[in-house]
Structure formats: structure tokens, C-alpha cells
Amino acid sequence: MVGVRGEVGNRLFLLQAREGRRLVIVKCEKQQLAALAEWLAQVIGEMGRPAHLPDDLDLEPEYESDFAAGDIAVALDEETHTIEVTFESLEGETSWS
């Protein structure tokens, strides 16, 4: 999920991803999320929409970020129809995919 917290001019852009019970919250720049969304829209348009999407697309109430995103890498496996997005920490200490 992607969301925004705060007032215009002082916004915090967050991406939340869940794997099982683990919730990871990444602080991103607006431009990073826009570029990622554009790429994902293009790929999903070519691959087709997933069969099921979550009903609730709201951010989790907890919104303290685990880390701030630096580089973001994306990969597409056309055989398995999977997309992998890897976030490197701005500080270079953490990565998550």
C-alpha cells in the first residue's frame, strides 16, 4: 500500500508491504513512488491484472518507517509472472524485497 501522511508541503510518503505477519514500512520520495507506479502500471497492463486484490487498501495505522528508501530496483520474471521490488536503505544498511 502507498499512502501519504501530513499536510501539503510537509508530507510523508510511505509504502507498506506485508509478508505474512511482517509489516515493512518504507519512507519514499514522491518521485520514487511515481516512477515505481508508472513502471508497475505498464508491466501489469502487459501481464494482466492479478486475479485477486485485497479488499482493504488503506495504510495500517502504524506508520513509523523502518527505513528511508535510497535505490529501488525492479525485476520481472516473465515465466512465473512475478514482480520483485527491492528497496535499498538511504543509509545503505538495510534492503528489503
If you average pLDDT over residues 30-43, what whole number do you get?
A: 92
Q: Is residue 58 a part of any domain in this protein?
A: no
Q: Is residue 42 a part of any domain in this protein?
A: yes
The strand order across the sheet containing 95-96 reads 2-5, 12-19, 22-28, 67-77, 82-89, 95-96
Q: Is residue 60 a part of any domain in this protein?
A: no
Whether 97 has a pLDDT exceeding 90, the answer reads no
Torsion, CA 76, CA 77, CA 80, CA 85, rounded to 10: -40
Q: How confident is the model at residue 57 (pLDDT cuts 50, 70, 90)?
A: low
Close Cβ partners of 44 (under 8 Å, ≥ 6 residues apart):
50
* Radius of gyration in angstroms for the set of CA atoms belonging to the chain, rounded to a whole number: 14
Query: Bigger pLDDT: 70 or 78?
Result: 70
Q: Is residue 26 a part of any domain in this protein?
A: yes
Q: Is residue 13 a part of any domain in this protein?
A: yes
Structural domain containing residue 49: 2-53+65-96
SS3 call for 67: strand
Q: Is residue 49 a part of any domain in this protein?
A: yes
Please tell me the total count of domains within the chain: 1
